[in-house]
Amino acid sequence: MKIQRKLIRDIFYIAILFFMFTLFISKKYIIDPLTTFEMKMVHDRVNRLEIYIDRKCKLLFDIAQDYAKWDDTYNFVETKNDEYIKNNFSYEGIFDKNEVNFLFILDKKGDILYERYHHSNYYDELINKTIKIRILPTIKDYISTIRSDTVGIQAIDKTPIILVIQNIQNSKVSALSNGYFIIGKYINREEIKNINNELAINIASIDVVNSINNSLEINNNYIFSSKTFFDIFKKPSITFKVKFKRIFYTETIKNLKLFFLLSLILIISSILIFIKRLKASVLDKILLIKNTINKISETSNLNLRIPITKEDDEISELSIDINSMLNKLEKTSKRLKESLDDIYYLAYHDNLTQLPNRLKAIRYIEDLINVQRPFHVILLDIDNFKNINDMYGHDLGDAVLKYLSKKLQNNIRKNKFLARIGGDEFLIIVENLRSDFQIQNIVNDIINLLSKPLLIKSDKLYIEASIGIAEFPKDGSTLQSLLKNVEIAMYESKKKKLKYQYFNSALNERALTNLTLSNKLKQCIENNEFIIFYQPIYSLKENKVCGAEALVRLNLDNKIIPPSQFIPIARELGLLPDIDNLVLANSIKQCKIWIDSGMKDFSISINTSFRQIINENFIDFVKNTITKFNVPPQDVTLEITEEEALEDLELVTEILSRVKELNVNIAIDDFGTGYSSLNYITRLPVDILKIDKSLISNINDKKNIEIIKAILSMANSLKLSVIVEGVESEEQLNILRGLNVEKIQGYLIDKPLCKEEFETKYLKGC
Ligand code: C2E
Ligand code: CA
Ligand code: CA
């Protein structure tokens, strides 16, 4: 449309220029010469009028001269004889023929000797009535001053009158005049009409004047030309104004106007036709191209093409070119899209299992959070996956992950989203749950799935996993908090061997404490902020407290933190040996104090750990401590759990043998749980078995009694003494008594007590 407007504007300017040029040419080469021509015509006409009037004057002057210079006339003035009048003026011929309207013969003084009037029309008759009184003063005026023969145009009441005055003279004495012969002729309306007809002119007006006016007036329709004539005194007396109708001029102007109008119509219709054609063959097509391109850029739809018309012109060619460019662009964009899809796939998928990866999971969660749609995240972490890799190799590890992915995928397909977000971590996102049961069902399904062995290369492999569950927005309103909390829940489930754990705020609190702990533990060791509690060990044979187990606690900001909370952290940070050594030294010192205070046959049991005992200085440390506090080594028992001992059985056996050389007792802690491969017991230099509380808590279970019995008989044959832990009730005690158990430990006797309490309760009785 912009081109159209520009073109119209340009054409408009060209049209204006054309009109101005034509106007200029018409004026210079048509109108101006025409005006000059017409002015010349008018000039000719006025000339004709002048010649006509002059001729009339001359004619009358000559007639008057004939009479005035005639002796008969001279004699008449002298004699006043009637004969002269009768002979010359008795008939009208002289007047009619010569168109004379009045005749006066005056004597020398100016008195009228003869007067005669003639009229040939009504106007002549009208003037004749008063002419004598009107003209005679002028004549008398003339003959009293100038007197010579004359002719002139006098104005009487706007009527021009040709007046001739001739001195009457005889042939003999020509110098003397005895009177005046005067004739006059009216140029009245009738005469004007004649003049107009005869000369083919148009006298518009006759004005009485006293100055010369030979001007030319011109307007669009007429040219007026004035001619002034003189009276007998040779003064300007009357002006004839000749009017000329400008027929050529007006006709030409009319024709020119018509020409301009037709040109205008022609130009406008040409413009309209041109614009229409331009619109149809250029602008509309350009608009079509523009609209198609706009549509493509708006919708990004590269399938769109410019419709091609059959016309074979440049714009159609352009459209074809653009379309072929679009074809190429479409192909390129398709290829680009495919590449992008590949990149997208690679960026968002795990190469091994082809599942969405961590990044994709994050995006997925972010999208859900953005629309504030509630959902659950389930984090599944394979337990001891490192061991599978270590024991069977990475190929099998990969196969396990692939197999598990497939199984999970088949299982949770309906629940939308599964991703592998880490080595052995899977994340499941579940939306649109209608009840809490549903999430539990999904979790149960997964547990069920895991309970079946994985068939890998026809081998059956049992794997276990820990599951954490968190809900948006209840358990975390941001991606970070949600992922952190589901991880906390998963770790809790792993730690407690729970299979699954829903996130709750207490977990979070604990996780926070854990975080504080990891940051503060080192400092706590430096400041020895640990407290040791002592739990009595009771001898059923002797019916008395025969020892105590040292159990460590952390006093953090006046809050007593149990070992279950900080020991795993300390172990992970490599700080557990320091704590253990601290406990070892302090409890041996305490033992000495109590022995010195009168506790007889009292021994102290101290927990140790694998990392602690494998330290090359450990044996020396134990030895030095015992020596330093001067405690009988047989009153010191070092406990180690099956799990810790089995970290490296050979090494532990060697170390413990050397410890044994110090005469210190060795106890296997938490016996009856975990590996329970009795084989190692025979190899380890053990003195005491501490039967784990899990076997006692279900003592009604006959199977457990049988296990305890078996352990007791094994201990008996190996000459090991036994302490049963976790005895809480009289019922348990009675059963244990029946089984001849030597020593017990548990809440039934007492819970772990702080030093002071222990002293109050057990030192006093000694
Ligand atoms: P553990 O060596 O088996 O210690 C006995 C645990 O059982 C203590 O928990 C004690 O409070 C608890 N207990 C005693 N009688 C009963 C009972 O009748 N019923 C029940 N349900 N529990 C009973 P505590 O003090 O929380 O210690 C937990 C574990 O922390 C210990 O288990 C031990 O493995 C570890 N631990 C404690 N102190 C140390 C330490 O200084 N060094 C190391 N390496 N481990 C320690
Ligand atoms: Ca113990
Ligand atoms: Ca124990």
Every domain of the chain and the residues it spans: 2-245, 358-503, 520-763
Determine whether 202 is exposed, middle or buried from the number of CB atoms within 10 Å of its CB (0-12, 13-18, 19+): middle
Task: Establish whether residue 726 lines the binding site of ligand 1, counting it when its CB lies within 6 angstroms of any ligand atom.
Answer: yes
Assigned architecture for domain 520-763: Alpha-Beta Barrel (3.20)
Q: Which residue has 């020892």 as its token pair? A: 547
Give the pLDDT mean for 86-105. 86
Which of 725, 748, 758 best tests ligand 1's pocket when mutated (most atoms within 8 Å of CB)?
A: 725
Question: 2-245 has which fold?
Answer: Beta-Lactamase (3.30.450)
pLDDT, position 285: 86
Ligand nearest to the CA of residue 671, numbered in listed order = 3
Give the pLDDT mean for 297-314. 86
Nearest to 313 by CA among 287, 280, 275, 270: 280
Lowest average pLDDT, out of 85-94, 161-170, 612-621, goes to 85-94
pLDDT 10s digits, 406-454:
988 888 766 579 999 998 999 999 988 777 788 888 899 889 888 888 7
Task: Establish whether residue 561 lines the binding site of ligand 1, counting it when its CB lies within 6 angstroms of any ligand atom.
Answer: no
**Ligand 1 nearest-atom number relative to CA 752:** 11
Task: Establish whether residue 669 lines the binding site of ligand 1, counting it when its CB lies within 6 angstroms of any ligand atom.
Answer: yes
Banded pLDDT at 182 (limits 50, 70, 90): very high
Residue nearest to atom 37 of ligand 1 (CA): 551
Task: Establish whether residue 63 lines the binding site of ligand 1, counting it when its CB lies within 6 angstroms of any ligand atom.
Answer: no
Contact 606, 639 (CB under 8 A): yes
Question: Does the global pTM surpass 0.85?
Answer: no
pLDDT 10s digits, 639-666:
999 889 888 889 999 999 999 999 999 9
Ligand nearest to the CA of residue 751, numbered in listed order = 1
pLDDT, position 536: 97
Check residues 113 and 96 and name the one with the higher pLDDT.
Answer: 113
> How far is the centre of ligand 2, averaged over its atoms, from the C-alpha of 604 (Å)?
11
Task: Establish whether residue 693 lines the binding site of ligand 1, counting it when its CB lies within 6 angstroms of any ligand atom.
Answer: yes
Banded pLDDT at 155 (limits 50, 70, 90): very high
Give the pLDDT mean for 608-627. 96
> How far is the centre of ligand 3, averaged over its atoms, from the C-alpha of 388 (Å)?
28
Give the pLDDT mean for 114-119. 94
DSSP per residue, 150-172: EEEEEEETTEEEEEEEEEEE-SS
First to last CA, the chain: 115
Contact 116, 89 (CB under 8 A): yes
**Ligand 1 nearest-atom number relative to CA 692:** 3
Q: What residues are paired with 168 via a beta bridge? A: 179
pLDDT, position 727: 96
Contact 323, 288 (CB under 8 A): no
Banded pLDDT at 677 (limits 50, 70, 90): low
- What is the chain's length? 766
Contact 388, 397 (CB under 8 A): yes
Give the pLDDT mean for 100-105. 95
Percent of the chain at pLDDT > 90 equals 64
Residue nearest to atom 35 of ligand 1 (CA): 563
DSSP tag of 472: E
> How far is the centre of ligand 3, averaged over its atoms, from the C-alpha of 757 (Å)?
22
Banded pLDDT at 174 (limits 50, 70, 90): low
Quick check: helix, strand or coil at residue 609? Answer: coil
- The class (CATH top level) of 358-503 is alpha beta
Task: Establish whether residue 560 lines the binding site of ligand 1, counting it when its CB lies within 6 angstroms of any ligand atom.
Answer: no
Quick check: helix, strand or coil at residue 637? Answer: strand
Contact 743, 712 (CB under 8 A): no
Pairing of strands 544-556, 530-539: antiparallel
**Ligand 1 nearest-atom number relative to CA 690:** 3
Report the alpha-carbon distance of residue 761 to residue 766 in Å, rounded.
10
pLDDT, position 460: 80
Q: What CA–CA distances, in Å, run from 356 to 339, 340, 429?
A: 18, 16, 12
Nearest to 165 by CA among 124, 81, 114, 105: 105
Which of 533, 581, 607 best tests ligand 1's pocket when mutated (most atoms within 8 Å of CB)?
A: 607
Report the alpha-carbon distance of residue 675 to residue 568 in Å, rounded.
20
Nearest to 217 by CA among 243, 249, 247, 252: 243
Pairing of strands 530-539, 236-245: unpaired
Vertex 118 angle, CA 116 and 124, to 5° = 130
Q: How many CA atoms within 13 Å lie on the side-chain side of 295? A: 13
Q: How many other C-beta atoms are found inside a 10 Å radius of the C-beta of residue 481?
A: 15
pLDDT, position 765: 54
* Cα torsion through 318, 321, 323, 329, rounded to 10: -130
pLDDT, position 9: 87
pLDDT at 508 over 90: no
pLDDT, position 674: 61
> How far is the centre of ligand 2, averaged over its atoms, from the C-alpha of 677 (Å)?
19
**Ligand 1 nearest-atom number relative to CA 552:** 38
Which of 521, 551, 591 best tests ligand 1's pocket when mutated (most atoms within 8 Å of CB)?
A: 551
Cis peptide before 632 (omega within 30 of 0): no
Residue nearest to atom 7 of ligand 1 (CA): 726
Report the alpha-carbon distance of residue 244 to residue 220 in Å, rounded.
11
